[in-house]
Amino acid sequence: MTGIEKFTSPIGVALDRFISAKQEEFTYATGELSQLLRDIALASKIINREINRAGLSGIEGSIGADNIQGERQQMLDVIADYRFTRALVRGGQTCGIVSEENAEIIDTKNHNAKYIITIDPLDGSSNIDVNVSVGTIFSIYRRKSPIGTPPTLEDVLQKGTEQVAAGYILYGSSTMLVFTTGFGVNGFTYEPSLGEYFLSHPDMTICEDGNIYSVNEGGYYSFPQGVQDYIDECKKKKMRARYIGSLVADFHRNLLKGGIYMYPSTKEYKNGKLRLLYECNSLAFIIEQAGGYASNGEKRILEIEPEEKHQRTPLYIGSKNMVKEVLNRVNVTSIA
């Protein structure tokens, strides 16, 4: 592109315009879900600002306490949780929030709202200190309890198949919002000088056969034998090993390039590390919408019946044939 064209070519479709244009893809089309996504986008812009200046504002590092998962809480975990909660409470479209950082359901007091949200406000937060990409992951469900009442456990313990929307924000070399409402997957890139997300990755799909495997190989000897065999096979085939340690970033790369992400059960932790309600279900909905697959090694992630808000599950997610391959080796129900 030369001369004047550089300045007159369109920037693209802004998130707001996309949402308005696709209103019928936002379940029940009454505008609440659209507003909820706008609230999430707004909170993400604030987090993006904090992350970008983390080194200068001194908000890297731990607060010196553990969260309900028994994991060290970073300052930015707390800030992100606060920002998203506030945006969702003020936004008025959710009656309850399940956050990684809170043991109990947060009652937003918006009892007339239809939606429930589950969220990992800051994923990969231990990477903040070393200036590596982090993210936010969320899922949206319709409440089961009657409108006008406080949120209940039944509202939040829904199977992944019940999601009406799911998405993530990747605070990376650029910041992106990727989401689905069950009509494919679309990715938006943040333009900081305009303060807007623009559609940059329409109709995202993942190839059936990828060439990247992502797993924390430090745990190799405590993985199930089938997973060890699969990793050996990847090496024999000289596949590319890539592991950032931020689920969102690893997932996003594999979605674009084709690959598999694995967080298996281990000898010590039979359910692995990742959380079903605000990590695995959200990404499983996205990957299936993009043509990939997600399993816990025994069944489709989206069909797991949740028993507990913060429950963990092993995760095998990504290109369909790669997930199929590892499932064959862990010797359980494979996919069609």
Q: Which residues bind Mn ion (CB under 5 A)?
A: 100, 120, 122-123
Is 246 one of the binding residues for ligand AHG (CB under 6 A)? Answer: yes
Site string for ligand AHG, 103-132 (x = CB under 6 A): -----------------x--xxx-------
Q: How many residues bind ligand AHG (CB under 6 A)?
A: 11
Is 85 one of the binding residues for ligand AHG (CB under 6 A)? Answer: no
Is 318 one of the binding residues for ligand AHG (CB under 6 A)? Answer: no
Closer CB to Mn ion, 122 or 244, in the complex? 122
Q: How far is the CB of 100 from ligand AHG (least distance, A)?
A: 6
Applying CB under 6 A, among 245, 256, 300, 328 the residue interacting with ligand AHG is 245
Q: How far is the CB of 207 from ligand AHG (least distance, A)?
A: 22
3-state secondary structure the chain: CCCCHHHHCCCCCEHHHHHHHCHHHCHHHCCHHHHHHHHHHHHHHHHHHHHHCHHHHCCCCEEEEECCCCCEEEHHHHHHHHHHHHHHHHHCCEEEEEECCCCCCEECCCCCCCEEEEEEEEECHHHHHHCCCEEEEEEEEECCCCCCCCCCHHHHCCCHHHCCEEEEEEECCCEEEEEECCCCEEEEEEECCCCEEEEEECCCCCCCCCCEEECCHHHHHHCCHHHHHHHHHHHHCCCEECCCCCHHHHHHHHHHHCEEEEECCCCCCCCCCCEHHHHHHHHHHHHHHCCCEEECCCCEHHHCCCCCCCCECCEEEECHHHHHHHHHHCCCCCCC
Q: How far is the CB of 191 from ligand AHG (least distance, A)?
A: 26
Tell me which of ligand AHG, Mn ion, none is bound by residue 246, counting a contact when its beta carbon lies within the kind-specific cut-off of 5 to 8 angstroms. ligand AHG
Measured over the CA atoms of residue 65, residue 68, residue 73 and residue 76, the dihedral's sign is negative
Cβ–Cβ < 8 Å for 156, 178: no
Is 60 one of the binding residues for ligand AHG (CB under 6 A)? Answer: no
Closer CB to ligand AHG, 127 or 181, in the complex? 127
Closer CB to Mn ion, 43 or 207, in the complex? 43
Cβ–Cβ < 8 Å for 167, 40: yes
Q: Nearest-CA neighbor of 175 among 319, 296, 44? A: 44
Site string for ligand AHG, 213-232 (x = CB under 6 A): ---x----------------
Q: How far apart are CA 26 and CA 164, in angstroms?
A: 8
Q: How far is the CB of 74 from ligand AHG (least distance, A)?
A: 8
Is 71 one of the binding residues for ligand AHG (CB under 6 A)? Answer: yes
Applying CB under 6 A, among 40, 54, 247, 330 the residue interacting with ligand AHG is 247
Q: How far is the CB of 314 from ligand AHG (least distance, A)?
A: 12
Site string for ligand AHG, 273-302 (x = CB under 6 A): x-----------------------------
Closer CB to ligand AHG, 3 or 64, in the complex? 64
Tell me which of Mn ion, ligand AHG, none is bound by residue 92, counting a contact when its beta carbon lies within the kind-specific cut-off of 5 to 8 angstroms. none
Q: How far is the CB of 236 from ligand AHG (least distance, A)?
A: 23
Interacting residues with ligand AHG (CB under 6 A): 71, 100, 120, 123-125, 216, 245-247, 273
